[in-house]
A and B are shown apart, each in its own frame.
Chain A
Amino acid sequence: KAGVTQTPRYLIKTRGQQVTLSCSPISGHRSVSWYQQTPGQGLQFLFEYFSETQRNKGNFPGRFSGRQFSNSRSEMNVSTLELGDSALYLCASSLSASVNEQFFGPGTRLTVL
């Protein structure tokens, strides 16, 4: 089985721009979670989708949004980028509930200049 894939792997944007990141879960997995990883804050939960519905959301501003498609692929969007949004964004998929074993993707490294 192919693992979780994320595109693009690296991205450089400037302040004020918006960005869309993509995540393809393992085939058959219906839950997709997104995390922001930074050296200072570690891994912080952004949101989780299951069957195209957002089930949980972390404490991030409304500039961070996401969606899930019928094939379970998910996208994450960040609008009006700030310097502090520079981070590694990780996507994880699991069969059903996110408390099951999560399989992580390689991440998208976003740099905001």
Chain B
Amino acid sequence: GAGVSQTPSNKVTEKGKYVELRCDPISGHTALYWYRQSLGQGPEFLIYFQGTGAADDSGLPNDRFFAVRPEGSVSTLKIQRTERGDSAVYLCASSLNTGNEQFFGPGTRLTVL
């Protein structure tokens, strides 16, 4: 079956612009996670959803970052007033339920010029 998909695969934007990154989880998976991986680093946790609600958003670095999952399936990570330091690969993962094995998407590579 289809795995986790993320769009776009690459996004180049200018400093100060707004971007949206999309994640389509595996059908039926109730838990969805966003992570960020900077070059040469391990991924770091941003936010996780159980259903439609953000169960833990403690990893979001500041209020420029926001994520939604209005129908409990697709999620969008939104970044306002992008900064060069936001450049990274943004990874999405989903799991059947909280605590189950997580399946990762291919990531969106964001470059802020």
A binds B: no
Residues of A that sit less than 8 Å from B by CB:
none
